[in-house]
Amino acid sequence: MNADALVRVSALILQVALGAGLALLFAHALAVIVVRRHRAPRIERGQRALYALLQPVAGARSPLADHERAGLFGHLARLSGVEQEEVLAPIAQSLTPEACEPIRSIAAEIGLLDRAMAWCRSPRWSTRLRGARLCSALCAGESAMVHLLRDRHPAVRAQAADWAARHATPDVVARLLEMIDDPDAFSRFAVQDALLRLGNDVVEPLAVFLERRDGPAIEPAISVASAIPHPRFLAAAIRHSGSDRPAVRVRAMNLLGSIGGSEVARLLVEHLEDGSPDVRAAALRALGRIGHWPRAPEMADRMRDTSWDVRRAAGLALRDLGSPGILMLRRMTSDVNSFAADMATQVLDLPPGVGGESS
Amino acid sequence: MSAAAIGGVAGIITVLEIFAITFFVALNGWYLVLLVGAAIEMRQHRLLAQGDTRMRILGSPLAPRISVLTAAFNEQATIAESLNSLFGLHYPNVEIVIVNDGSRDGTLDVLRNDFGLKRIHTIFRRVLATQRVRGLYRSAAHPDLIVIDKENGGRADAMNAALNVATGDFVCVIDADTLIEPDGLRRMLRPFLDSADVLGVGGTIRIANGSTFRDGRIVETRVPRRPIAGIQVVEYLRAFLFGRLGWNRAGGNLIVSGAFGLFRRQALIDVGGFCHDSIGEDFELVMRLRTNAYEKGGPHRIVFTPDPVAWTEAPESAAILGRQRDRWHRGLTDVVLRYRRVLFNPKYRVMGVLVFPHYAILELLAPVVEAAGMLALIAAALLGILNGPFAVLFFLAAWGFGAALTLFTLLLEQLTFRRYERLSDKLMLAVWTIAEGLGYRQMTVFWRLRGLWKFILGRTEWGVMERTGFQQQTPAQPGVQAALAGAATRSPATVAAPTVPVSRVQAGRLAG
């Protein structure tokens, strides 16, 4: 084929592609307009039916007559699956599991819940994800969702973890703790967030987990515990403050700092001599947070530390102690150790009340 | 002219034509591959991102700290508006570090008065060398706002000063005149949680011209009716929605726009922060991050994610756009020469053998080849040896292919984000798509060639950027055009004499 013919063929193909592109673009725009115009009133009618069904439950009106109820359910049942999702899910996901019960009943009655459960068992991960999202919104589908916590796709596991945050059963919490070092970052993050949102329900199992386990799962578990400050974690914090891994000791210091108390202050002061500057700095931050002023002299000693991070943490922790710490810092400004004096000078220049520097 | 001479010239013209056709087929063939990659990537993205549970999770108290860094040089007119939009970000753990880079107008006074700045002496380590910092301030009204007042040193220097002070695990680099959508940061963070191998994430930049804003947020998305701004809308859509998205599947991106990018802070510090003497500093930074990662190990992927959107104003005059494009091409040339060791070097894996060669050969040489093709065409016409039908068909093929690619990108946009809802806007997008190849593209070829020429001459100026501000809508008078506070004019400066205007229309290049 010569160059002329090649260009002719190419030009023809490209013009066809261009025409197809234009046609598709406008066909799609038209389709969107038609579908929206068709769907908008259906969804609106569905929403009105849902509100009418919910009004007696909320005590806003007297119970509905059977024929009224049947009519309203008929409206909802005639909607497509996507439309039903669009009507029910946005309201359901903003409610507590208890308050969601009437919507769950309606979803069950119109067959949406069964469909969601079936989606959760699909071989396609995207369909399972869709089912998991709907079950999460409706706070339903426990039998399917517990299995999805072990799903092979991380996005599905993450969605199941989100569901689990509103289902504090022992099995669910145990499974979440097993997943705390999930190999997928997003799933791991979702699990930690779910544990955090479970709050007090997770304290006892998490404390037991921390007391018995070692290994990579410990670091995220301590981080979660630090965000739910509870004295029940003290034994675990003490245990892990002796870990041979500095990263674990740093987190143990944070955990101790979130618990507070004289015993904790004593333990933290012991770690001011730790071989790792990160641990020393974390211990100082924790001492500053619990505001244990009798330990100010030990903290002031760390202003002479060889590590800049430790000196900075010591200065800011002293500042957090209030008057006793400020007094120590003023003395340190004339210290023979010029690094300590310099850091004290800088810390004292901080304006009070803005905070954040020590975090 | 003798028959032999004409024969010789005709031979040269034929060689040029064959070269131009080969180049055209290679470049556009590769663009087709990128388009397919973008479509697959978009589908995957939509499956994972739809529904708001995933977004809500990122609002958790466990969310990592993000420092938003921005540099301001003579931004008195727009700085308050831009900052107000940042305060509206839906992210639980954010600090905003703004650098007043030696502004000669009242930028610092506006910040002082509007945000109740109080001088502080926070303690930070100066790991990156910068011009002298004159003072640090914290807002009494917004404790997460820190202002660094420093002597002028250019955008790179300002960003390095901000990096020294920032405390976040991640830093979001934006321009002072960029408006980020409220959930932009949460969406930007998602790729970091999806993979531990991610070093930086770029978001979509869209053109604000023609759209209406209120309180730093977009209220109505429209397509500009003026050709230069309108064509840039389709150009940006194509660059971001198929170019950069496609590269996610084909070895990762090399460009994160300086107007909106999220990076691991420690990674930026480890490579020495922003480079002072590069005109393509955003491209240079990503190249340095990735080459460093390949050489020393660690995360090396630069990901583009399509849904976090930032809005920026595009130039509406050919002169300003020309200066911008010639600067971008000088930046590209500078970075390609700096990192020539990467070219076809398997040590840098797919970046060395595919991604970088694309920029070094196809993108860098595209204006040269296009110009050579056009000159050959003119020469052939003058010599009477032009094959008319061939030339017309080739032009139609080149123009048609470009337009088809853009139309498919618009289709991708319509199937996913649908930001332009009115039928009239869709029509305008189609009009600008078709118009792009009829003059605009030829102008960009000229500007890029000018950039190459200036680079050869060693000229490093940035040029002047004039802005009119975002079109505002007030609650009392919807639709009223109220320019933010008149036109802000960027002063010319050079990289060498570090007085670079720090906020620009758009920091990254569009191509690829």
Answer whether A3 sits within 8 Å of B21, measured CB to CB.
Answer: yes
pLDDT at B504: 33
Answer whether B389 sits within 8 Å of A356, measured CB to CB.
Answer: no
Let me know: does B283 contact B331? Beta carbons within 8 Å: yes
* Number of cross-chain residue pairs from A and B with Cβ atoms under 8 Å apart: 135
Residue A77 has pLDDT above 80, yes or no: yes
Burial class (CB in 10 A: 0-12, 13-18, 19+), B382: exposed
Residue B506 has pLDDT above 60, yes or no: no
Residues 6 or more apart whose CB falls under 8 angstroms from that of A310 comprise: A277, A280, A281, A284, A302
Q: Give the ipTM of the model, two decimals please.
A: 0.77
Answer whether B123 sits within 8 Å of A316, measured CB to CB.
Answer: yes
Structure tokens at A258: 């979130």
| Chain B contact for A4 (CB, 8 A cutoff) | yes
Distance in angstroms (rounded) separating the CA atoms of residues B108 and B80:
11
Kindly state the average pLDDT of the residues A213-219.
90
Answer whether A133 sits within 8 Å of B51, measured CB to CB.
Answer: yes
| Closest CA–CA distance from residue B57 to any residue of chain A (Å) | 6
Closest chain B residue to A160 measured between Cα atoms? B53
Length of chain A: 359
- Tens-place pLDDT, residues A182-207: 988 888 989 999 999 998 999 999 99
Burial class (CB in 10 A: 0-12, 13-18, 19+), B331: buried
Residue carrying structure tokens 């979440």: A176
| Closest CA–CA distance from residue B96 to any residue of chain A (Å) | 13
pLDDT at B481: 30
Of the pLDDT bands very low, low, confident and very high (cuts 50, 70, 90), residue A313 is very high
Query: CA angle, corner B204, sides to B201 and B208, nearest 5?
Result: 145
Of the pLDDT bands very low, low, confident and very high (cuts 50, 70, 90), residue B328 is very high
Interface test with A, best of B48, B95, B117, B123 (most A CBs within 10 A): B123
DSSP label of B65: P
Answer whether B123 sits within 8 Å of A357, measured CB to CB.
Answer: yes
DSSP H or E run through B97 = strand B94-101
Structure tokens at A85: 């999702």
Long-range contacts of B10-18 (CB under 8 A, 24+ apart): B10/B380, B10/B383, B10/B385, B13/B376, B13/B379, B13/B380, B13/B383, B13/B385, B16/B372, B16/B373, B16/B376, B17/A3, B17/B373, B17/B376, B18/A3
User: What pTM did the predictor assign?
Assistant: 0.83
Answer whether B140 sits within 8 Å of A354, measured CB to CB.
Answer: yes
Q: What pairs with residue B249 in β-bridges?
A: none
Amino acid, single-letter form, for residue B169: D
CB-facing half-sphere around the CA of A356: CA atoms within 13 A: 24
- Rounded to the nearest 5°, which phi and psi values hold at A352? -75, 155
B216: region left, alpha or beta (phi > 0 left; psi from -120 to 50 alpha): left
Let me know: does B52 contact B190? Beta carbons within 8 Å: no
Distance in angstroms (rounded) separating the CA atoms of residues A305 and A282:
14
| Closest CA–CA distance from residue B385 to any residue of chain A (Å) | 15
Residue B503 has pLDDT above 50, yes or no: no
pLDDT at B193: 84
| Closest CA–CA distance from residue A340 to any residue of chain B (Å) | 13
Let me know: does B261 contact B158? Beta carbons within 8 Å: no
Distance in angstroms (rounded) separating the CA atoms of residues A108 and A134:
12
Facing residue for B62 by CB, picked from A33, A192, A312: A192
Cα torsion through A140, A146, A151, A156, rounded to 10: 30
Distance in angstroms (rounded) separating the CA atoms of residues B359 and B311:
26
Residue B1 has pLDDT above 80, yes or no: no
Residue B79 has pLDDT above 50, yes or no: yes
pLDDT at B231: 95
Residues of B in contact with A219 (CB under 8 A): none
Interface test with B, best of A14, A91, A139, A348 (most B CBs within 10 A): A14
Let me know: does B62 contact A194? Beta carbons within 8 Å: no
User: In chain A, helix, strand, coil percent, each to 5?
Assistant: 75, 0, 25
Residues of A in contact with B54 (CB under 8 A): 158-159, 186
Distance in angstroms (rounded) separating the CA atoms of residues B303 and B384:
51
User: What is the rounded average pLDDT for all residues in chain B?
Assistant: 83
- Tens-place pLDDT, residues B16-60: 777 877 888 788 888 888 888 888 888 888 888 776 555 566 667
pLDDT at A18: 67
| Closest CA–CA distance from residue B412 to any residue of chain A (Å) | 9
CA A1 to chain CA centroid, nearest Å: 62
Kindly state the average pLDDT of the residues A96-102.
87
Distance in angstroms (rounded) separating the CA atoms of residues B306 and B191:
11
| Closest CA–CA distance from residue B468 to any residue of chain A (Å) | 32
| Chain B contact for A155 (CB, 8 A cutoff) | yes
Burial class (CB in 10 A: 0-12, 13-18, 19+), B346: exposed
- Tens-place pLDDT, residues B440-473: 999 999 999 999 999 999 876 655 555 555 556 5
Facing residue for B48 by CB, picked from A20, A155, A315: A155
CA A227 to chain CA centroid, nearest Å: 12
Cα dist from A316 to A186, A346, B249, B423, whole Å: 33, 10, 46, 59
Residue A300 has pLDDT above 90, yes or no: yes
pLDDT at B417: 83
Residues of B in contact with A136 (CB under 8 A): 53
Residues of A in contact with B125 (CB under 8 A): 308
| Closest CA–CA distance from residue A343 to any residue of chain B (Å) | 8
Biggest CA–CA distance in chain A, Å, is 92
Answer whether B426 sits within 8 Å of A350, measured CB to CB.
Answer: no
pLDDT at B251: 77
| Chain B contact for A133 (CB, 8 A cutoff) | yes
pLDDT at B499: 28
Facing residue for B390 by CB, picked from A7, A190, A351: A7
Cα dist from B174 to A349, B167, B263, B473, whole Å: 30, 17, 11, 24
Residues of B in contact with A343 (CB under 8 A): 123
CA B271 to chain CA centroid, nearest Å: 21
Query: CA angle, corner B230, sides to B227 and B233, nearest 5?
Result: 150
pLDDT at A4: 67
Helix (H/G/I), strand (E/B), else coil: B198: strand
DSSP label of B494: B
Residue B162 has pLDDT above 70, yes or no: yes
Cα torsion through A159, A162, A167, A169, rounded to 10: 80
Let me know: does B197 contact B300? Beta carbons within 8 Å: yes
Answer whether B393 sits within 8 Å of A7, measured CB to CB.
Answer: yes
| Chain B contact for A349 (CB, 8 A cutoff) | yes
Report the percent of chain B where pLDDT is more than 90: 43
pLDDT at A67: 85
Let me know: does B327 contact B310? Beta carbons within 8 Å: no
Residue B488 has pLDDT above 50, yes or no: no
Distance in angstroms (rounded) separating the CA atoms of residues B444 and B473:
33
Kindly state the average pLDDT of the residues B423-440.
90
pLDDT at A25: 67
| Closest CA–CA distance from residue B60 to any residue of chain A (Å) | 6
Answer whether B411 sits within 8 Å of A126, measured CB to CB.
Answer: no
Bridge-based pairing of strands B170-175 and B66-72 is: parallel
Q: What pairs with residue B173 in β-bridges?
A: B69, B261
CB-facing half-sphere around the CA of A211: CA atoms within 13 A: 10
Structure tokens at A308: 């800049």
Kindly state the average pLDDT of the residues B169-191.
90
Number of other CB atoms surrounding residue A37 within 10 Å: 9
Nearest Cα to B191, choosing from B83, B113, B299, B86?
Answer: B299
Of the pLDDT bands very low, low, confident and very high (cuts 50, 70, 90), residue B78 is confident
- Tens-place pLDDT, residues A262-273: 889 999 999 999
Facing residue for A308 by CB, picked from B125, B140, B389: B125
Answer whether A17 sits within 8 Å of B195, measured CB to CB.
Answer: no
